[in-house]
A and B are shown apart, each in its own frame.
Chain A
């Protein structure tokens, strides 16, 4: 007896075992109970979600000796014959190899004859989308009004290729992709029955890697049994899928943050020489950025990130280093790379190119990764809103409240400086003119930008400076590495404390600063001018060549 793969061995034999397609099985079982069985069904849906299985179950349910029943006995000769596909009255036809008009004509001839033993004569036509147009058309009349003893079940992965005239004569059921949790549940059951040792993480990796297809999941499990020694681990799942482990994605993004092109290229080298699926790699990296994006959006969006908790914490930290535009750009670069990878034989070069581009995205703030310890802090802060939001929504609080809850950043202990002294917001505000003065000494433009912001929050590691919306340009200018470094340097000197600068856009409390009204009006005008100037090719070239910024605009005499 040759080995039967898991996907075939564990093909569901009763309706309850069909996972994730309750909307189909419930309708069908109800129809059977109420004796309202249609004469033609069309099962559509992606690969490996249970179309053929359900078709066979339906055939059994209809032809079982115990009468049309929702629980076929699986013991009578009809049931057994259907399971072995040797039944005379349940004909499973491969639509893709018998696709011509002649095959359909002979089918039509045979439809007339009564079933040999069972209640119904059931035609299961799999891959029905491959029938030729002529074949479809030859079937129309029969399909609309077949003899009473005939039932048709069509299954296809491409319903759009089935003629509309056919579809309209059938009851159509759309099968869904199976959710990750449903997959895991079923996999666990099978692993238990088969006495396999599988890590929790591995289940997760399998379910995530198969795009909601149960057959893919079971094929993979089969493969893993042969691949691994002893317990099946998450890393082994990745290896078999050709997927790169999460660690690499984190490392790559860290290389981006540090603008370390060389280590990025080295990482690519490892991925290539491990023989991983490069197209998959690029799309997965894209997904990593998508996750970062979700963290940027914050609040409820974080719940859409389908990852274990410790990964979420690391994502939160990485997300802090990017703004939305950068993430967008990265995704853009990667999606084009993924496209290019479909065409080339060796994927190394498009990937290397992409990494060089990513690590050189100029605007990425060059802040060193914070040391291990504070990671948790930031992560907790980032994770908190999600949990808060859950509680709130359970109470059915007004939407307004939940939003403010998710946006509100939990207070952190006020920072202390190296001497153990408190570094409070008041103190920062008090010292602010001095800070500006010092920055001015180092770089005039940096001071000019920073002046428009207002320090709004101090935590152990971070100083938040808020800019009102019209000073977006100033905020972005400060985010540039160079400027940022200068400012952070001065902050260290003044407060004797390492502070990360976090410019944000938001409401500025009160125009407490001197000459605000003047400078605000002035600078918004400047802003416009700046924009105009930047469009001007000559000036643009000059700016780019010297990596400069417009600092001052003087009116000319002409």
Chain B
């Protein structure tokens, strides 16, 4: 694969890389910043391929890098299959999903060795923000002045959790959310989706191809429907039982997800392997696994809450007189329009804030069920307030 085949939308980043290749100005460290699923890994891979491509007789001899990857030579293919000896991918390891100091020490050692087959030793750190504090610090010196003929590529979707000392040592390339049209076209042409569905998925994806592909699955679609039904049904007349039941419904979506994940992990560790471990090790592995599942569940909870936020956001947009083309949930236009007429904008704003707050509280290890129930109840109280006593919250936050 070559740069020109990357789905449209990342031209600025690619342009910089290609020009740097052409002018022989490839830096020793890059940081790719951008949301999940917009092509960071892909571009990192192509860059690695381009630098180490075999079909390079011309420019390479002049001490220059290649301009692009051919995708056919053995070097390119090896890189694509993660089997190239000089291109190493460092991923968050263990079940706690962290890049630890040992990973980084190993990297620092490896990078000091001469390239085996390729022109440059290349290390790609996916999710660089998952580095522990120790790991980040241990990387600093190498990141600033690595041996000649080496290249570090760091990828992240959460630059705020990277140390400024790390960021300052890299050349930063920004990856933007993809234009929705590109995603739609891509879904239609490559995955043969009907145009309407592709349109909806592209809007739900927020410009992240990866997310659009995730949402394609049956479970994801059902989950979305359930959550939206809950969000759209909430009304001031609901009694407590009704509210608790809905909180429980959301809870169930999440516990189902957890269960599926557990099963999947169990399958991944065959029995024979288990017998090889000592008792302490097994306990350790179990702990790590638990931490991993917690982390994933947290992500999932955020996703579910985001669905509700998206819903309210659409209502707000309609109330402000926004165009239909701006809606995220384009499949529920009619419902949204009806609802937009009889809910007050203030209440929606309040509710979005409530959900955001719940999302943030997830980081403090709260009881998930309790916080969901509390959220539902508060959201409804808000509604009652607006109905009975509109003055009390006007203009106040």
Question: Which residue of A has the minimal Cβ distance to B157?
Answer: A345
Question: Which residue of B has the minimal Cβ distance to A239?
Answer: B12
Q: Which of A85, A219, A352 contacts B168 (CB 8 A)?
A: A219
Interface check B160, CB cutoff 8 A: yes
Interface check A557, CB cutoff 8 A: no
Hey, which chain A residues are within 8 Å of B63, CB to CB?
A: 1
Q: Which of A99, A127, A227, A275 contacts B19 (CB 8 A)?
A: A227
Does A275 lie within 8 Å of B177, measured CB to CB?
A: yes
Interface check B283, CB cutoff 8 A: no
Q: List 27 A-B contacts (CB under 8 A).
A: A1-B63, A2-B28, A48-B168, A96-B137, A130-B138, A213-B168, A215-B169, A223-B27, A223-B173, A226-B25, A269-B326, A273-B177, A275-B34, A275-B174, A275-B176, A279-B160, A344-B356, A345-B35, A345-B36, A345-B302, A345-B306, A349-B309, A352-B317, A541-B391, A542-B391, A544-B394, A545-B390
Hey, which chain A residues are within 8 Å of B160, CB to CB?
A: 279, 342
Q: Which of B28, B36, B395 contacts A5 (CB 8 A)?
A: B28
Those 5 A-B pairs whose CB atoms lie nearest each other, nearest first: A275-B176, A541-B391, A96-B137, A544-B391, A97-B138
Contact with B along A79-102 (1 / 0, CB 8 A): 000000100000000111101000
Chain A 196-235 interface residues, beta-carbon cutoff 8 Å to B: 213, 215-216, 219, 222-223, 225-227
Hey, which chain B residues are within 8 Å of A542, CB to CB?
A: 391
Interface check A356, CB cutoff 8 A: yes
* Shortest distance between the CB of A138 and any CB in chain B (Å): 18
Hey, which chain A residues are within 8 Å of B139, CB to CB?
A: 96
Does B140 lie within 8 Å of A215, measured CB to CB?
A: no
Interface check B165, CB cutoff 8 A: yes
Interface check B266, CB cutoff 8 A: no
Question: Which residue of B has the minimal Cβ distance to A225?
Answer: B25
Question: Which residue of A has the minimal Cβ distance to B25?
Answer: A3
Does A47 lie within 8 Å of B168, measured CB to CB?
A: yes
Chain B 338-397 interface residues, beta-carbon cutoff 8 Å to A: 345, 349, 352-353, 356, 359-360, 389-392, 394-395
Interface check A537, CB cutoff 8 A: yes
Interface check A348, CB cutoff 8 A: yes
Hey, which chain B residues are within 8 Å of A262, CB to CB?
A: 320-322
Does B390 lie within 8 Å of A242, measured CB to CB?
A: no
Does A540 lie within 8 Å of B313, measured CB to CB?
A: no
* Shortest distance between the CB of A516 and any CB in chain B (Å): 33
Interface check A353, CB cutoff 8 A: yes
Q: Given A227-B12, A342-B160, A357-B349, list of 13 further CB < 8 A pairs?
A: A3-B27, A85-B145, A99-B134, A222-B171, A223-B173, A265-B317, A273-B177, A273-B179, A343-B359, A343-B360, A349-B352, A541-B389, A544-B390
Contact with A along B247-270 (1 / 0, CB 8 A): 000000000000000000000000
Hey, which chain A residues are within 8 Å of B15, CB to CB?
A: 227
Does A537 lie within 8 Å of B392, measured CB to CB?
A: yes
Does B390 lie within 8 Å of A261, measured CB to CB?
A: no
Does A226 lie within 8 Å of B207, measured CB to CB?
A: no
Q: Which of A1, A127, A219, A348 contacts B206 (CB 8 A)?
A: A348
Contact with A along B33-59 (1 / 0, CB 8 A): 111100000000000000000000000
Question: Which residue of B has the minimal Cβ distance to A97?
Answer: B138
Query: How many Å lie between the Cα of A441 and that of B172 in the bound state?
Result: 64
Query: How many Å lie between the Cα of A227 and that of B13 in the bound state?
Result: 8
Of the candidate stretches B74-82, B101-109, B191-199, B213-221, the one touching chain A is: B101-109
Query: How many Å lie between the Cα of A359 and that of B183 in the bound state?
Result: 32
- A-B contact number at CB 8 A: 167
Query: How many Å lie between the Cα of A85 and that of B33 in the bound state?
Result: 32
Interface size range on B against A: 35 or more
Does B170 lie within 8 Å of A219, measured CB to CB?
A: yes
Query: How many Å lie between the Cα of A362 and that of B394 in the bound state?
Result: 10
Contact with A along B4-25 (1 / 0, CB 8 A): 0000000010011101100111
Interface check B26, CB cutoff 8 A: yes
Chain B 118-157 interface residues, beta-carbon cutoff 8 Å to A: 120, 134, 137-142, 144-145, 148-149, 157
Does A127 lie within 8 Å of B140, measured CB to CB?
A: yes
Interface check A191, CB cutoff 8 A: no
Hey, which chain A residues are within 8 Å of B241, CB to CB?
A: none
Interface check A434, CB cutoff 8 A: no
Hey, which chain B residues are within 8 Å of A48, CB to CB?
A: 168
Chain A 427-486 interface residues, beta-carbon cutoff 8 Å to B: none
Question: Which residue of A has the minimal Cβ distance to B345?
Answer: A356
Question: Which residue of B has the minimal Cβ distance to A332?
Answer: B397
* Shortest distance between the CB of A52 and any CB in chain B (Å): 8
Hey, which chain B residues are within 8 Å of A543, CB to CB?
A: 391
Does A226 lie within 8 Å of B20, measured CB to CB?
A: yes
Q: What number of A residues sit within 8 Å (CB to CB) of B?
A: 63
Hey, which chain B residues are within 8 Å of A94, CB to CB?
A: 138, 140-142
Interface check B3, CB cutoff 8 A: no
* Shortest distance between the CB of B161 and any CB in chain A (Å): 8
- Residue of A5, A8, A126 with most chain B CB atoms under a 10 A cut-off: A5
Does A3 lie within 8 Å of B26, measured CB to CB?
A: yes
Interface check A274, CB cutoff 8 A: yes
Interface check A170, CB cutoff 8 A: no
* Shortest distance between the CB of A352 and any CB in chain B (Å): 7
Contact with A along B162-192 (1 / 0, CB 8 A): 0011001111111111010000000000000
Contact with B along A341-366 (1 / 0, CB 8 A): 01111101110110011000010000
Interface check A157, CB cutoff 8 A: yes
Interface check A550, CB cutoff 8 A: no
Query: How many Å lie between the Cα of A272 and that of B359 in the bound state?
Result: 22
Interface check A505, CB cutoff 8 A: no
Interface check B223, CB cutoff 8 A: no
Interface check A240, CB cutoff 8 A: yes
Known A-B contacts A226-B25, A275-B176, A542-B391; the reply to A126 vs B141 at CB < 8 A is yes
- Residue of A46, A130, A543 with most chain B CB atoms under a 10 A cut-off: A130
Hey, which chain B residues are within 8 Å of A287, CB to CB?
A: none
Q: Which of A46, A130, A273 contacts B207 (CB 8 A)?
A: A273
Question: Which residue of B has the minimal Cβ distance to A350?
Answer: B356
Interface check B288, CB cutoff 8 A: no
- Residue of B63, B165, B168 with most chain A CB atoms under a 10 A cut-off: B168
Contact with B along A416-434 (1 / 0, CB 8 A): 0000000000000000000
Hey, which chain A residues are within 8 Å of B317, CB to CB?
A: 265, 352
Does B148 lie within 8 Å of A1, measured CB to CB?
A: yes
Query: How many Å lie between the Cα of A353 and that of B17 in the bound state?
Result: 36
